[in-house]
Chains A and B, each alone.
Chain A
């Protein structure tokens, strides 16, 4: 669709960007206001140094490890003759359906020895390596095998060909995935809190719950925001300035499948171990605690079918409400982006929502509490406020999905509709939306998955009397009531797997991962 942008649509489409911009201003303003003086006087305090050490140490270790494991897994699955390749292909993406804090719960309940750095690294790596694995596997599949052949003909060994030809081509996928892992490691809260591993997010929460409002939390938030910004800048610097384009696609030919020979068994063992750690333990431990009676095994937290039902219903309500709210909010922008691509303003509007991905949920939630109490008291403790925060956190996922669905529905049909006398709203309702509906549904399902497994903002912003599955898992795990947490964890994983499967079956696993990760 060409021509002038409809002003009403542009107005609606700018809402998401406005929301995110307002949030960033509020958050940074809040942090700057009281944080800077505190930061200057206390910055060299050993507490901040320790947090920096912990947070950066974990971020770097998890990013390197996840990149290594993700790339290795992708290569094994796509380009070697390792047994059961389709199985590993699916299992490589499966950890995305297991929220990191549930994995954390599983490991901690297996043994308290998994607490602290080791456990935190284990959980982060297992939960987030798919963010590297999926894009790398996708790039590997697209690679032109001819370049490798040329290298081999010129006398390079197969290992040399891998290092000098394949690896450089995978660079964008590895960097993108790695940056996502780094951001996740910086902003993750629940998994670390359950591991009793102190990072900036857990310390901000601690300071908040200790009743210290203002400067300390703000100063910590400011440092964390700067770290997130650094990751983004580093990514942009590393990513830019390389050309990977090749002239022509070459003949469509299956890529060489490397024979692993004696390495087949070790490779298989590696994949089995990875699947066991990333999916097996979380599912296994949850099922194990399900079979234990609360009172016998663990600090007895009363688990009644009624309570489980209530929490499930609340989670689903919030998830569905949030998914609808987010989709409706993002629809105008998705429409604009799919029908008027390339306009500077449209590009700009669709970039802004991504910025919120660099803001830790805990910082977002705390600044929303402050803003709500001070400026819009009627929103305070309301479900609407929580839905707005969900929308901000997960809008990009909806944008990606809905835009993809809209792009697939041919504009020609819309022009025919216009020719038959419909206005833009009529065209939207009669033609565009019905065609895009399955895709919109899948995108909404993705938002639903994210909301149901969201912990931090829910914990801080839940309206009175609201208790979700994630909150119940949190509350029971933090008092070491593992059997009490199990039914909630099991249902949470169940919902997440069903909705993830729905999204993946519509968009393909890779698209799902891009959205979840990005």
Chain B
């Protein structure tokens, strides 16, 4: 630094001031851009709802768009995989900015419920959906449903050789013939259900068998695509991945088919997408409004009619897409979604078996 005589120090502030009053254009633009960057995030907090979303972003965008149109309430969406979203809320402790959490599977939201991080859903909203699908303590509402199915390629396996039960896929005879996506959040409920029905030890044995047999894919989209192009004979997926692939490639290029296990087998498990309001939610009223919107007839019809979602609507009187197996032909095991578990044990077993 140059030496500045003390008497000249007095001049410095005025010089600084002058400098600040006519700064260069680039500096102004830069400052304004930076300011805009931070400002937009903070804008309009009062009439904004924050949604932590573990559902497919495309479906949720349809919903939030319609909600914004109907109510004028802006929805800020943070999307990710359900289990990661739930872990994030737990890590954020009471400071989460989230109002509503909407996930693909009840097992994710059960964990939040167990940790007492949810607040009650209004009775009117809960009554829109058959009681057995939502939380027994009324802290989350079931919105839509899907079924676990086996997708299979008729060119590679005969229909009479298809497995009758989920457990059978762990037998040595299935080596190399089954595709799974143990990292997809939709795989966890199946493990939860296995634990529920057969116990932890048997579930772990089953996973070890799968580990030996299965070809591993990163997600259900990958599984159904692989079966469709004949890379592997069968695959475990939720039924809507099959329907979406069918829309994508067109029915004539759809070689994969759907099979169900024998009636009431664990493999026929029905998963529900569920929504809840955080106990720490800054906008509880708006959140209640959003949940009511999710189970409104209009929203459920919009989702059932369109070719984006392919889930079963849970509100009575709304028909599911004709592309998927009719709701009354599913024969799922009798396990209430809120009693399915919390993914915690399922994750431990997946880790132990080496599948994750």
In the assembled complex, B81 has its CB within 8 A of some CB on chain A: yes
CB nearest neighbor in A for B75? A465
In the assembled complex, A149 has its CB within 8 A of some CB on chain B: no
| Contact across chains for B37 and A478 when beta carbons are under 8 A apart | no
State how many angstroms separate the Cβ of A285 from the closest Cβ of chain B: 15
In the assembled complex, A209 has its CB within 8 A of some CB on chain B: yes
> Which chain A positions have C-beta within 8 A of B350?
210, 212
| Contact across chains for A295 and B218 when beta carbons are under 8 A apart | no
CB nearest neighbor in B for A322? B37
> Which chain B positions have C-beta within 8 A of A198?
216, 218
| Contact across chains for A295 and B307 when beta carbons are under 8 A apart | yes
Residue from A115, A301, A324, A384 in contact with B33 in the complex, judged by beta carbons closer than 8 Å: A324
State how many angstroms separate the Cβ of A312 from the closest Cβ of chain B: 14
State the main secondary structure of chain B at its contact with A. Answer: helix
Residue from A209, A212, A307, A482 in contact with B351 in the complex, judged by beta carbons closer than 8 Å: A212
Residue from B41, B76, B81 in contact with A209 in the complex, judged by beta carbons closer than 8 Å: B81
| Contact across chains for B38 and A8 when beta carbons are under 8 A apart | no
| Contact across chains for A211 and B83 when beta carbons are under 8 A apart | yes
A18 to B128: give the CA distance in the assembly, Å.
56
| Contact across chains for A206 and B343 when beta carbons are under 8 A apart | no
| Contact across chains for B351 and A196 when beta carbons are under 8 A apart | no
Interface segment out of the listed B90-98, B133-141, B282-290: B90-98
Residue from A113, A295, A301 in contact with B229 in the complex, judged by beta carbons closer than 8 Å: A113
**A-B contacts, CB under 8 A, total:** 149
| Contact across chains for B347 and A211 when beta carbons are under 8 A apart | yes
Task: Type the 1/0 row for A354-396, where 1 means its CB is closer than 8 Å to any CB of B.
Answer: 0000000000000000000100010011111000000000000
| Contact across chains for B78 and A465 when beta carbons are under 8 A apart | yes
Residue from A202, A210, A377, A466 in contact with B185 in the complex, judged by beta carbons closer than 8 Å: A210
> Which chain B positions have C-beta within 8 A of A34?
none
In the assembled complex, B205 has its CB within 8 A of some CB on chain A: no
Task: Type the 1/0 row for A177-211, where 1 means its CB is closer than 8 Å to any CB of B.
Answer: 00000000000000001001010001100111111
A324 to B30: give the CA distance in the assembly, Å.
7
Residue from A297, A373, A423 in contact with B92 in the complex, judged by beta carbons closer than 8 Å: A373
Report if A424-B1 is in contact (Cβ < 8 Å); known contacts: A209-B81, A381-B97, A464-B97: yes
Residue from B30, B91, B248 in contact with A373 in the complex, judged by beta carbons closer than 8 Å: B91
State how many angstroms separate the Cβ of B154 from the closest Cβ of chain A: 18
In the assembled complex, A299 has its CB within 8 A of some CB on chain B: yes
Report if A383-B84 is in contact (Cβ < 8 Å); known contacts: A209-B183, A211-B347: no
Report if A478-B84 is in contact (Cβ < 8 Å); known contacts: A210-B185, A301-B58, A317-B37: no
A479 to B224: give the CA distance in the assembly, Å.
12
State how many angstroms separate the Cβ of A447 from the closest Cβ of chain B: 14
| Contact across chains for A465 and B33 when beta carbons are under 8 A apart | no
A475 to B219: give the CA distance in the assembly, Å.
13
Instruction: Please report which residues of chain A, range 426-454, place their CB below 8 angstroms from some CB of chain B when the two chains form the complex.
Output: 437
State how many angstroms separate the Cβ of A108 from the closest Cβ of chain B: 10
A204 to B216: give the CA distance in the assembly, Å.
15
In the assembled complex, B354 has its CB within 8 A of some CB on chain A: yes
| Contact across chains for B50 and A464 when beta carbons are under 8 A apart | yes
A495 to B244: give the CA distance in the assembly, Å.
31
A324 to B2: give the CA distance in the assembly, Å.
28
CB nearest neighbor in B for A462? B78
A208 to B244: give the CA distance in the assembly, Å.
25
Instruction: Please report which residues of chain A, range 77-111, place their CB below 8 angstroms from some CB of chain B when the two chains form the complex.
Output: none
State how many angstroms separate the Cβ of B2 from the closest Cβ of chain A: 5
In the assembled complex, A246 has its CB within 8 A of some CB on chain B: no
| Contact across chains for A383 and B37 when beta carbons are under 8 A apart | yes
Q: State which size class the interface on A falls in.
A: 35 or more
Task: Type the 1/0 row for B124-154, where 1 means its CB is closer than 8 Å to any CB of A.
Answer: 0000000000000000000000000000000
> Which chain A positions have C-beta within 8 A of B222?
115, 196
| Contact across chains for B58 and A210 when beta carbons are under 8 A apart | no
> Which chain B positions have C-beta within 8 A of A317?
33, 36-37, 40
| Contact across chains for A480 and B356 when beta carbons are under 8 A apart | no
Residue from B41, B61, B225 in contact with A383 in the complex, judged by beta carbons closer than 8 Å: B41
In the assembled complex, B62 has its CB within 8 A of some CB on chain A: yes
> Which chain A positions have C-beta within 8 A of B244?
299, 479-480
Residue with the greatest number of chain B CB neighbours at <10 A, chosen from A212, A318, A381, A437: A212
> Which chain A positions have C-beta within 8 A of B210?
none
| Contact across chains for B95 and A377 when beta carbons are under 8 A apart | yes
In the assembled complex, A243 has its CB within 8 A of some CB on chain B: no
| Contact across chains for A464 and B41 when beta carbons are under 8 A apart | yes
A297 to B248: give the CA distance in the assembly, Å.
6
> Which chain A positions have C-beta within 8 A of B216?
198
> Which chain A positions have C-beta within 8 A of B219?
196, 478
In the assembled complex, A484 has its CB within 8 A of some CB on chain B: yes
CB nearest neighbor in A for B30? A324
A383 to B182: give the CA distance in the assembly, Å.
33
State how many angstroms separate the Cβ of B127 from the closest Cβ of chain A: 31
In the assembled complex, B265 has its CB within 8 A of some CB on chain A: no
> Which chain B positions have C-beta within 8 A of A301?
58, 61, 308
CB nearest neighbor in B for A48? B354
| Contact across chains for A321 and B76 when beta carbons are under 8 A apart | no
| Contact across chains for A207 and B183 when beta carbons are under 8 A apart | yes
In the assembled complex, B87 has its CB within 8 A of some CB on chain A: yes
In the assembled complex, B73 has its CB within 8 A of some CB on chain A: no
In the assembled complex, B10 has its CB within 8 A of some CB on chain A: no
| Contact across chains for B92 and A211 when beta carbons are under 8 A apart | no
| Contact across chains for B57 and A475 when beta carbons are under 8 A apart | yes
In the assembled complex, A302 has its CB within 8 A of some CB on chain B: yes
> Which chain B positions have C-beta within 8 A of A382?
41
A203 to B307: give the CA distance in the assembly, Å.
31
State how many angstroms separate the Cβ of A332 from the closest Cβ of chain B: 14
In the assembled complex, B217 has its CB within 8 A of some CB on chain A: yes
Report if A209-B83 is in contact (Cβ < 8 Å); known contacts: A299-B247, A377-B95, A480-B248: yes
Task: Type the 1/0 row for B28-63, where 1 means its CB is closer than 8 Å to any CB of A.
Answer: 001001101110110000000010000011100110
Report if A211-B58 is in contact (Cβ < 8 Å); known contacts: A196-B222, A479-B244: no
| Contact across chains for A209 and B30 when beta carbons are under 8 A apart | no
In the assembled complex, A145 has its CB within 8 A of some CB on chain B: no
| Contact across chains for B221 and A383 when beta carbons are under 8 A apart | no
CB nearest neighbor in A for B26? A437
In the assembled complex, B80 has its CB within 8 A of some CB on chain A: yes
State how many angstroms separate the Cβ of A42 from the closest Cβ of chain B: 8
| Contact across chains for B87 and A211 when beta carbons are under 8 A apart | yes
In the assembled complex, A216 has its CB within 8 A of some CB on chain B: yes
In the assembled complex, B245 has its CB within 8 A of some CB on chain A: yes
A377 to B95: give the CA distance in the assembly, Å.
9
CB nearest neighbor in A for B57? A475
Instruction: Please report which residues of chain B, range 216-248, place their CB below 8 angstroms from some CB of chain A when the two chains form the complex.
Output: 216-219, 221-222, 225, 229, 244-245, 247-248
CB nearest neighbor in B for A466? B41
> Which chain A positions have C-beta within 8 A of B185?
209-211
| Contact across chains for B347 and A212 when beta carbons are under 8 A apart | yes
> Which chain B positions have C-beta within 8 A of A478?
219, 221
8 closest Cβ pairs, A-B complex: A211-B83, A465-B76, A209-B81, A206-B183, A301-B58, A196-B222, A209-B84, A321-B37
Given contacts A211-B83, A212-B356, 6 further A-B contacts (CB under 8 A): A203-B183, A209-B183, A210-B183, A212-B347, A325-B34, A481-B58
11 A-B pairs (CB sep. < 8 Å):
A112-B225, A196-B219, A196-B222, A207-B356, A210-B183, A210-B356, A211-B83, A300-B308, A301-B61, A317-B40, A479-B58
Residues of A within 8 A of B (CB): 6-8, 42, 45-47, 112-113, 115, 193, 196, 198, 202-203, 206-213, 216, 295, 297-302, 307, 317-318, 320-321, 324-325, 373, 377, 380-384, 418, 423-424, 437, 463-466, 475-476, 478-482, 484
Residues of B within 8 A of A (CB): 1-2, 4, 26, 30, 33-34, 36-38, 40-41, 50, 56-58, 61-62, 65, 76-84, 86-87, 91-92, 95, 97, 108, 182-183, 185, 188, 216-219, 221-222, 225, 229, 244-245, 247-248, 306-308, 343, 347, 350-351, 354-356
